[in-house]
Amino acid sequence: MTSDHACSRARELISLQLDGELSELGCTRLAAHLAGCATCKEFAHGAEATALALRVSPLEQPSRQILLPQRRHVTLRVVQVGAVAAVLLVATAIGTFATVGSKAPRPNLALSIRPTGGSEQAELAIFRNMRLQEIKPVPVGLAGGVQ
């Protein structure tokens, strides 16, 4: 008497054998099972007869053309880019609200001293430094900034 699992495995081995993909060890196991299981032996003969009939029959050509719809491929890359964009959007929003709510002193640009004389490059350098101080990031949360 054999188990359902052994018979199920034997039927898989029969299919592999018909396709020429069964190893030598698999052939030995299948032969041992078929020697003791009449049901699987009958299944093997039926499967062999069916495979032979299919292989020797001529190919049928369809009477009309068969068109398959185009598959829409959503690639993983598109999903990844969307996820990164969403994370950046959330991080930007959190950073904006955290900065707006903080009491960090901001430089008063209205009271900044502008040089009255000198070269234009020196004026641009001073103005650039003032702008850099204005946009300097303020630490928030556990990084040691204002909470």
What is the tens place of the pLDDT at every residue in 3-45?
A: 889 999 999 999 999 999 999 999 999 999 999 999 999 999 9
Task: State the virtual CA torsion across 24, 27, 29, 34 in degrees, nearest 10.
Answer: -170
pLDDT at position 84? 87
Report if pTM > 0.85: no
First to last CA, the chain: 75
Phi (first) and psi of residue 64, to 5 degrees: -135, 160
Compute the distance between CA of residue 99 and CA of residue 140 in angstroms, rounded to an integer: 8
pLDDT digits over 61-102, tens only?
Answer: 888 888 888 776 666 677 788 888 889 888 888 887 766 555
- pLDDT classification of 131: cutoffs 50, 70, 90: confident
Residue 36 phi/psi, 5° resolution? -110, 0
Domain coordinates in residue numbering, the chain: 4-56, 105-139
Token pair of 103 as six digits: 């009491």
pLDDT at residue 17 in the model: 95
- pLDDT of residue 145 exceeding 80, the answer is no
Q: What's the confidence (pLDDT) of residue 82?
A: 83
- Residue 105 binned pLDDT confidence (cut-offs 50, 70, 90): low
Three-state DSSP class for 24?
helix
